[in-house]
Amino acid sequence: MKNFFDEYFKLKNIDLFQFSVLNPQIAMLSYLKVGEKMASQPQKIEKARQELLSRLLELQKSFVKTLCSRDDDCIDMKYNSKNQKFEDNVFANNAMMIFSRKFYETISQWMLDTLDSLDEIDPILRNSARFFMKQYIDLMSPDNFPFLNPKVLKETVDTYGENFKKGMEMLMDDMKNGSITTNDRDKFKIGRDIAITPGKVIFQNAIMELIQYSPSTPQVFAKPILFIPPWINKFYILDLKPESSFVKWVVDKGFTVFMISWVNPDKRYKDKGFEDYVTDGLWASLEKILDITGAKSIHTVGYCVGGTLIASFLAYLANPLCKKRPRADIASATLLTTLLDFEHAGDLAIFMAENYLEAIDAQMQESGVLDGSILYNTFSALRAKDMIWRYFVNSYMLGKKPEAHEILFWNSDPTNLTAAMQTFLAADLYRDNLLKTGQLKMFGIPIDLKLVKTPLYVISTQKDHLVPWRATFDSIKLFSGSIRFVLGGSGHVAGVINHPGKNKYCYWTNPKNVDTADEWFDTATKISGSWWSDWFQWIGQISGRCISALKIVDFIRDAPGIYINNQTPEEL
């Protein structure tokens, strides 16, 4: 048996399947390896079998008591799943409906517990197997089957089956488009409904457009702000509708704001890597901002890997070996949900296994880029219940079109990743964690974050599954300068894009110097509202005097530019 597994894992023909997030071959590889470990632990198998029998007997006992109207140890007959709530209807509290869900929950939890109980399994392999098991569990939810879903049954009765007719029409449309629709995209247009903060593209090269936003106050702080968004998404997550735009809010607070809009790369960009994005992105922007404003000190704000780029560049500048630097200094760096220590890298770490990296490399051999649709499907699969099955039920079984939502519109507008950049992120950062160990080099200079003395504002979010906040807290220990660490509510996007006017969520602050994330949280102060207000108070104190706002004179085109619509420059 062991020889069979060894030979199976030596297979290199991953490209038999076109790469996809839920590649069945990679899933099989994970389960076969776990199966090998299970076969060597028969006592665990027997214990798991006994545990399953015990749980099912308890469920049966509770269900019988419920039917007999006994109060003790009864199943709660009111369905109140955390993941999907149904309105009161004639099916929702049906005993068999409740039992099907309790049975599903019992089996699902037992499967996960059994996997977690196995000994001597590589953490990456365990995470991979757990991911695919969660996909199967989410797939088999009773909610996804028409005759086990009370809301679908009620809708079918109320509409005489019209819901399934509408659902089939939407299913056919989605099959033509190649993905499940999660948002009414007709309700939004870039430059008309979102990304409409007034501004101009004042500089352009092969990597990016640089946008300068028009001032909305007569006086502005002397130090401007440069936003560096992630290059795996479009920048307009920071400039959605006016009532939720971080950019507009910062402009209205009296800052001169610049934004990098990265190009959506194609095959011609395959060799463009991290250093190219530093040189032609961050570095070129600092130089241009100095030419326009005369400011020799510029604030920076980096979102996700945009923050990783800023932190790495700061370490490069702080190294005594650095001889070449931009004419403008970086006054501060705000890192929005940024990972620097990749040891506990969140859900994305499961895609750093060799099986996946080989499959991705095979896909990029032809195209020169990691296709944006793969990234989109990856992020969706990490939250399959919310991002896939929710819309499967609502669209195809309830016959309801998805509502318009600006964040979901942005989320379904992915960008490609160059082959060189994908290799750097996956191998050097996620897999080998070179940024933490100090083995990463930029332009031949070792990157040591301990050398950074620039003031830092680090914001993480409590429910972030891509950049876990505890990992972000561990990352700040890599620095030795002044750092303000703040924990926001919600997740990777909603927790960051949280306008104070909406008065949603909360945030935590703690000036104490503690060793662990849990100790920090236990002694932190919880504050209602948005972290934006706290950040403005922090950055306002280090932004210098106010000056008259500059009018934009020389520009190439109106914001939001052309790169945001997947256009590329005519000449590279």
Q: What pLDDT digit, counting tens, does each position of 39-72 carry?
A: 888 888 899 999 999 999 988 888 887 777 655 5
8 Å CB contact between 346 and 465: yes
Amino acid 338 reads T
CATH number listed for the domain at residues 199-341+433-565: 3.40.50.1820
E-only strand ranges, 388-450? 417-418, 441-442, 445-446
Q: How far is CA 263 from CA 161, 209, 457, 569, in A?
A: 46, 8, 27, 9
What is the residue extent of each domain of the chain?
2-158, 199-341+433-565
H or E element: which one contains 312?
Answer: helix 305-318
Per-residue model confidence (pLDDT) at position 225: 98
Instruction: Tell me how far apart the alpha carbons of residues 202 and 517 are, in angstroms, rounded to a whole number.
Output: 42
E-only strand ranges, 326-366? 329-336
Per-residue model confidence (pLDDT) at position 100: 86
Instruction: Tell me how far apart the alpha carbons of residues 363 and 372 are, in angstroms, rounded to a whole number.
Output: 12
Virtual CA dihedral for 316, 317, 321, 326, nearest 10 degrees? 120
Low-confidence ranges of the chain (pLDDT < 50): 1-19, 77, 79-80, 82-90, 572
Average pLDDT over the chain, rounded to an integer: 87
Per-residue model confidence (pLDDT) at position 8: 38
Contacts of range 520-529, beta carbons closer than 8 Å, 24 or more positions apart = 520/473, 520/485, 521/487, 524/487, 528/503, 529/500, 529/503, 529/504, 529/505
Instruction: Tell me how far apart the alpha carbons of residues 105 and 60 are, in angstroms, rounded to a whole number.
Output: 13
Shortest CA distance to 128 belongs to which of 249, 232, 220, 25? 25
pTM score: 0.86
Per-residue model confidence (pLDDT) at position 450: 95
Per-residue model confidence (pLDDT) at position 15: 37
- What tokens were used for 165? 């007719």
| C-alpha Rg value of the chain to the nearest Å | 26
Per-residue model confidence (pLDDT) at position 23: 63
Q: Write the DSSP symbol of residue 559.
A: T
Instruction: Tell me how far apart the alpha carbons of residues 311 and 438 are, in angstroms, rounded to a whole number.
Output: 13
Instruction: Tell me how far apart the alpha carbons of residues 372 and 411 are, in angstroms, rounded to a whole number.
Output: 11
How long is the chain? 572
- Given 68, 74, 304, 506, the catalytic residue: 304
Q: How far is CA 502 from CA 24, 89, 540, in A?
A: 43, 33, 22
546 catalytic, yes or no?
no
Q: Phi/psi zone of residue 349: left (φ > 0), alpha (ψ -120 to 50 degrees), beta?
A: alpha
Q: How far is CA 200 from CA 134, 554, 561, in A?
A: 46, 9, 8
Max Cα distance, the chain (Å):
81
Per-residue model confidence (pLDDT) at position 16: 30
Per-residue model confidence (pLDDT) at position 324: 93
